[in-house]
Amino acid sequence: MVKTAIVMEASWGIGRSIADRLAEDGFAVIVHFSSHAREADETVAAIMEAGGQAVALQADVTREEEIKQLFETTLDQFGRIDVVVSHSGIMALSPMSRGDVDTFDKTIRTNLRGAFLVFAQAALHIADGGRIIGFSSIGVGTAPPSYGAYVASKAGVEGLVRVMAKELRKRQVCVNAVALGPGATEHLLQGMNGEQTARAGDLEPSQEIGETRDILHVVSFLTGPDGGWVSGQVIPVTERLPDRREFMELEVA
């Protein structure tokens, strides 16, 4: 029986890239979407054209019944769930001095409550030995101005991951979070001008903006056979090291 992965918000951006990578790794992929139906269908079509299996399913991440139905439909169609990647989230920025409660509530509802609902269903239905991945941000540690609601939501996701890792360890289910640094993704770059992008790169040890492929390597490792002894961890993806050829060029120079 083919292994199955649910990837939340997989119709565009990082989520789509993760769906593509897990399909390449041999998983049948549930391409979740909330509102981008056309993009979800395109993602499914691309995976199937490449020889993989995929189905698009819609659900509002903030609605408990819709998330339950997403998992039940996956089980009905594929018979098992081996990987769940909770990637849904919004980034609405506002200085705390504004007291913007609406922005705070919306961010917590989507990023933290949404993650909780997905994690809860994953804990109930994932196969023994399965993998659950949440997404956080290095902003939890760096705490940049105006990121109060976002940082609070992602700190909460990290807490849920650590608790769930202990709750599921007897079933050998590994639960981890990937903490993103500045990366060349649609989610980050849509709201940045050139100066802001350069400043984000300066936060990196390598002074570069990361690439989506760097995230995919980590996700593939955590969901693959070599990731079975990693659980309860928050893994930062903050920079891209030079490849072997670049190291050799440095040594020659």
Q: Give catalytic residue positions.
A: 150
Place of tokens 């039940």: 72
- Can you say whether the dihedral through the CA atoms of 187, 191, 192, 193 is positive or negative? positive
Q: Are strands 174-180 and 234-237 parallel, antiparallel or unpaired?
A: parallel
CB 129 within 8 Å of CB 143: no
Distance CA 243, CA 236 (A): 19
Q: Are strands 28-33 and 174-180 parallel, antiparallel or unpaired?
A: unpaired
Note the residue count of the chain.
Answer: 253
What is the enclosing helix (H) or strand (E) of 142? helix 139-142
Which one-letter amino acid corresponds to residue 183?
G
Task: Kindly state the tokens that stand for 34.
Answer: 């909330």
Q: What is the DSSP letter of 57?
A: E
Which one-letter amino acid corresponds to residue 153?
S
For residue 141, how many other CB atoms are within 10 A of its CB? Answer: 12
Burial (CB count within 10 angstroms: exposed 0-12, middle 13-18, buried 19+), residue 40: buried
CB 38 within 8 Å of CB 68: no
